[in-house]
């Protein structure tokens, strides 16, 4: 196993013009990450039609900072046309285009989301074969890792006997508590401290989102309080046995993080040690990619490099 970082982690720095794309890559390498994951529409200049200059710079940066291009994150923009939804074939051609972009960047994993159907991914297997790319479906909370919709993709993979489609678990599917930074954010905006504590307790006790929101209203919660409950309970508590059972289908993993580590060196929201142990036990050889989303809940300052340094060091220790 190796460590990569989604450059989405530097979104605040990038949007605020603190870092250029090259500086994001340089900082990732400086912190200790070996691989680079990039969101196409966010940071690729002139996407979806990158210039030759972009490709040239990209490969130079990979060599300059001694990192590996690992994953391209793409989306199904099926509503991009003003007058109609894209046809299935147009959506497939959009994904084939992204496969070719990934190949030009030296990337072998394209992360897709479930707006691409199993049938559409199946139609793109020949192009993935041609360009040595694997399409990896992100499974993200509040879905469970074994959600029926996910099983449909696995059935398609088995039927085609292909390694060109896989799954990318986001560790939000193993979230055991609400990220402390998220609760602090809503309280700072005016949410009730008492209802923030209810939100945390309700999630840990397995109360479903709709029930928790309704209880919040009955307790006198404002619309902000209800929004806090809705957004803070978006993880899920999948059974860890499915991480082991689905290991043959996994080619990429997103290590979500929101907070600094506890004094004991652990993440307050995810059992990273257990996740790493299961992956190691089952011979996982892909990348674990840090996806820091703290900036969404810390709008008053940029995400500190210390947070990423902590998580990078923790994961290096867990996978070594």
Any idea where the domains of the chain sit in the sequence? 2-175+236-319, 180-232
Q: What is the pLDDT of residue 320?
A: 87
Give the C-alpha separation, 157 to 159, whole Å: 6
3-state per-residue secondary structure call for 43-93: HCCCCCCCCHHHHHHHHHHHHHCCCEEEEEECCCCCCCCCCCCCCHHHHHH
Q: What is the pLDDT of residue 302?
A: 64
Residue-wise DSSP of 199-224: HHHHHHTT--HHHHHHHHHHTT--HH
Give the C-alpha separation, 280 to 273, whole Å: 11
**Token pair for 215:** 């209880």
Specify the CATH number of the domain 2-175+236-319. Answer: 3.20.20.150
| Contact between 289 and 252 (Cβ < 8 Å) | yes
Give the C-alpha separation, 21 to 58, whole Å: 9
* pLDDT-above-70 percentage for the chain: 98
Give the C-alpha separation, 89 to 92, whole Å: 5
**Closest to 135 measured CA to CA, from 157, 114, 165, 168:** 165
> Which single residue is written with the structure tokens 């860890």?
240
State phi, psi for 282 to the nearest 5 degrees: -95, 15
| Contact between 249 and 135 (Cβ < 8 Å) | no
> Which single residue is written with the structure tokens 């907070």?
259
Q: What is the pLDDT of residue 303?
A: 64
Give the C-alpha separation, 234 to 25, whole Å: 30
Q: 256 pairs with which residues across the strands? A: 291
Task: Compute the mean pLDDT over every residue in the chain, rounded to the nearest whole number.
Answer: 96
Q: What is the pLDDT of residue 305?
A: 82
pTM of the model: 0.95
> Which single residue is written with the structure tokens 């398609």?
156
Give the pLDDT confidence of 33-78 residue by residue, as tens digits.
999 999 999 999 999 999 999 999 999 999 999 999 999 999 999 9
Q: What is the pLDDT of residue 294?
A: 92
Regions of the chain with pLDDT less than 50: none
């Amino acid at each position: 196993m190796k460590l990569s970082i989604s450059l989405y982690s530097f979104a605040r720095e990038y949007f605020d013009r603190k870092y250029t794309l090259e500086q994001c890559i340089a900082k990732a390498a400086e912190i200790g990450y070996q691989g680079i994951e990039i969101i196409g529409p966010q940071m690729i200049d002139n996407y979806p039609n990158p210039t030759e200059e972009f490709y040239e710079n990209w490969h130079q940066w990979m060599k300059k900072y001694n990192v590996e291009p690992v994953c391209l994150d793409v989306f199904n923009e099926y509503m991009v046309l003003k007058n109609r939804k894209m046809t299935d074939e147009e959506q497939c051609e959009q994904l084939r285009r992204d496969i070719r972009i990934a190949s030009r960047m030296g990337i072998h994993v394209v992360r897709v989301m479930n707006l691409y159907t199993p049938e559409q991914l199946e139609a793109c297997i020949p192009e993935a074969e041609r360009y040595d790319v694997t399409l990896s479906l992100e499974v993200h909370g509040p879905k469970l890792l074994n959600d029926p919709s996910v099983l449909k993709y696995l059935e398609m993979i088995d039927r085609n006997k292909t390694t060109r489609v896989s799954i990318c678990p986001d560790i939000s599917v193993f979230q055991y508590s609400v990220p402390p930074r998220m609760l602090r954010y809503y309280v700072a905006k005016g949410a009730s401290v008492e209802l923030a504590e209810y939100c945390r307790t309700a999630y840990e006790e397995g109360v479903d989102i709709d029930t928790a929101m309704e209880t919040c209203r009955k307790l006198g919660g404002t619309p902000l309080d209800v929004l806090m409950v809705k957004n803070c309970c978006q993880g899920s508590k999948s059974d860890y046995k499915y991480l082991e059972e689905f290991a043959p289908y996994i080619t990429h993993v997103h290590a979500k993080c929101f907070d600094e580590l506890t004094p004991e060196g652990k993440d307050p929201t995810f059992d990273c040690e257990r996740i790493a142990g299961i992956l190691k036990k089952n011979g996982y050889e892909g990348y674990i990619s840090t996806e820091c989303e703290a900036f969404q809940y810390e709008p008053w300052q940029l995400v500190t490099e210390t947070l990423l340094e902590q998580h990078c060091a923790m994961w290096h220790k867990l996978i070594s």
